[in-house]
């Protein structure tokens, strides 16, 4: 537990840049913790500043998940590395049928990183946590020399309880089940790409980065016909569907015309030779639901959960681990796992 440190015993002016000494466990580390991490993450468990946070457990099964975040750029339309680090781990727990409770956050910071940017990230994490009803109860900070890391990397670990009655597993997939997504595909990956490359493309494409635990808990409570969920991060819908198909031995049949993609995302991906089905999302899940509950689930998401773009995009059939896309023309194409990040066309 390295948020721990000595008491406030200095009154110098605030530092502008992260120094190696901010990670040495001494005075500067302590000040960084007090003035930024503790101030914004502010909760009783973290505030004890002990080597480990101790919390009361409930009965039942627990879930734990961890993820490292190295996104570049660290600030992007619709989010930042901090929000992403919170949402990513929360969503991994949520799609597993768990209610996320606590997170830990571990920072690797490059020497010379502006303290103001670090604070922006911490504030963003704190706000995202508050919105999602989780707390950051342990953390760590390390500083590495200039050039030995790129700005800041964050690792979050989350724990939560399995929701009572939650029973998600690809073993439950059956022919006839329907496939649903909760909104438009490809925004996060494209928003990042457009920030990273100086393409001169003016677009309003924003990342869909958002915590999904609230919405998922609601639908799992109401719809026992939900058999499996997956958040559609790296590799996008196509890669994730293929992984589920291979694991379950069932086939996915998706309808091209039903897939929700924003018009501007469609336009830009076409221009760049990318496929939105392979682009990462950070606030989207795929759910496989029993046919009898599919329409009701869709209606509930649209009307009660403000997921107006949620869509039923296909169905499960017996088969051999394939993902088929029925094209608008009436043809069929197979979707495979992403092999190497998508690259733009050149002529």
Partner 1 sequence: MQNELRDPALGRQILSKITPLAQKAARRLGRPAILMEVCGTHTMAIAKSGLRNLMNGCLEMRSGPGCPVCVTDQRDIDKIIALAGQHNVVVATFGDMLRVPGTNSSLEQERARGSLVEIFYSPLEAVEYAAGRPQKEVVFLGVGFETTAPAIALSIAAAKSRGLTNFSVFSVHKLVPPVMEALLSDPELKIDGLILPGHVCTITGRSAFDFVTSKYGMPAVVAGFEPVDIIQAVYLLLKQIIDGPARVVNGYTRLVREEGNRKAQEIMQEYFEPADACWRGFGLVPQSGLALQEKYSFFDAAARYPLEVPEMPPAGGCACGDVLKGKIISPECPLFAGACTPLRPVGPCMVSSEGACAAYYHYEWAQADA
**Nearest alpha-carbon partner for 261 in 311, 299, 324:** 311
Give one DSSP letter per residue of 131-187, joined into a string. HHT-EEEEEEEEEE-TTSS-SEEEEEEEEEEEPTT----GGG--TT-EEEESS-SSH
Near partner 1 by CB under 8 A: residue from 242, 284, 307, 316: 242
CB atoms within 10 A of CB 334: 10
- Positive or negative, the CA dihedral 53, 55, 59, 63 is negative
At its nearest, how many Å lie between partner 1 and the CB of residue 154? 24
Residue span binding partner 1 (CB under 8 A) among the ranges 14-22, 93-101, 238-246, 279-287? 238-246
| Binding of residue 332 to partner 1 (CB under 8 A) | yes
At its nearest, how many Å lie between partner 1 and the CB of residue 68? 20
Q: Which is nearer to partner 1, 93 or 193 (CB)?
A: 193
Q: Number of residues interacting with partner 1: please give it, by CB under 8 A.
A: 36
At its nearest, how many Å lie between partner 1 and the CB of residue 75? 21
Alpha helices, H only, 36-80: 39-41, 44-47
At its nearest, how many Å lie between partner 1 and the CB of residue 124? 29
At its nearest, how many Å lie between partner 1 and the CB of residue 336? 6
In angstroms, the CA 343 to CA 186 distance is 15
Q: Which is nearer to partner 1, 72 or 304 (CB)?
A: 72
CA torsion, points 303, 307, 308, 313, in degrees to nearest 10? -110
| Binding of residue 86 to partner 1 (CB under 8 A) | no
In angstroms, the CA 81 to CA 79 distance is 7
**Nearest alpha-carbon partner for 123 in 236, 192, 50, 35:** 35
At its nearest, how many Å lie between partner 1 and the CB of residue 308? 22
At its nearest, how many Å lie between partner 1 and the CB of residue 262? 16
| Binding of residue 202 to partner 1 (CB under 8 A) | no
The dihedral region occupied by 340, where left means phi > 0, alpha psi between -120 and 50, and beta the remainder, is left
| Binding of residue 247 to partner 1 (CB under 8 A) | no
Q: Which is nearer to partner 1, 105 or 245 (CB)?
A: 245
Residue span binding partner 1 (CB under 8 A) among the ranges 17-25, 164-172, 229-237, 339-347? 339-347
In angstroms, the CA 100 to CA 305 distance is 19
Residue span binding partner 1 (CB under 8 A) among the ranges 36-44, 127-135, 156-164, 196-204? 196-204
How far lies 274's CA from each of 15, 158, 271, in Å?
43, 33, 8
| Binding of residue 148 to partner 1 (CB under 8 A) | no
- Taking each helix axis as running N to C, give the angle between helix 187-196 and helix 263-272, from 0 to 180 degrees, rounded to the nearest 10: 50
Near partner 1 by CB under 8 A: residue from 59, 60, 200, 204: 200
Residues between 305 and 324 that touch partner 1 (CB under 8 A): 320-323
What is the 3-class SS of 110-137, one letter each residue? ECCCEHHHHHHHHHHHHHHHHHHCCEEE
In angstroms, the CA 164 to CA 222 distance is 12
| Binding of residue 160 to partner 1 (CB under 8 A) | no
Near partner 1 by CB under 8 A: residue from 71, 197, 202, 220: 197
Near partner 1 by CB under 8 A: residue from 245, 265, 284, 311: 245
Q: Which is nearer to partner 1, 31 or 242 (CB)?
A: 242
Applying CB under 8 A, the residues found at the interface with partner 1 are: 197-200, 242, 245-246, 257, 272-273, 275, 320-323, 325-337, 339-340, 342-347
């Amino acid at each position: 537990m390295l948020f721990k440190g000595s008491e406030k015993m200095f009154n110098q002016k605030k530092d502008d840049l992260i120094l190696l000494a901010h990670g040495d466990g001494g005075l500067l580390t302590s000040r960084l913790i007090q003035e930024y991490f503790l101030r914004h993450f502010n909760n009783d468990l973290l505030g004890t500043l002990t080597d480990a946070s101790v919390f009361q457990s409930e009965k039942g099964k627990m879930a734990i998940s961890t993820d490292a975040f190295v996104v570049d750029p660290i600030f992007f339309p619709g989010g930042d590395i901090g929000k992403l680090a919170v949402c990513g781990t929360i969503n991994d727990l949520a799609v597993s049928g768990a209610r996320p409770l606590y997170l830990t956050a571990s920072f690797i910071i490059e020497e010379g990183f502006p303290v103001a940017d670090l604070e922006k990230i911490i504030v963003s994490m704190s706000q995202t946590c508050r919105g999602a009803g989780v707390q950051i109860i342990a953390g760590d900070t390390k500083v590495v020399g200039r050039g030995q890391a790129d700005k800041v990397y964050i690792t979050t670990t989350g724990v939560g309880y399995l929701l009572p009655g939650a029973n998600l597993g690809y073993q439950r997939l059956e022919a006839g089940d329907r496939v649903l997504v909760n909104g438009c595909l490809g925004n996060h990956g494209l928003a990042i790409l457009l920030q990273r490359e100086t393409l001169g493309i003016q677009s309003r494409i924003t990342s869909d980065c958002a915590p999904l635990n609230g919405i998922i808990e609601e639908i799992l409570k109401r719809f026992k016909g939900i058999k499996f969920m997956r958040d559609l991060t790296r590799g996008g819908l196509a890669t994730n569907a293929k992984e589920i198909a291979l694991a379950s031995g069932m086939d996915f049949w998706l309808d091209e015309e039903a897939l929700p993609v924003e018009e501007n995302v469609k336009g830009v991906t076409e221009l760049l030779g990318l496929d939105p089905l392979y682009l990462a999302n950070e606030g989207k899940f795929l759910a496989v639901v029993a046919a009898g509950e599919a329409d009701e689930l869709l209606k509930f998401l649209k009307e009660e959960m403000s997921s107006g773009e949620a869509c039923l995009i296909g169905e499960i059939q017996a088969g051999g681990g394939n993902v088929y896309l029925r094209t608008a023309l009436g043809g069929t194409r197979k979707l495979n796992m992403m092999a190497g990040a998508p690259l733009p066309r050149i002529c």
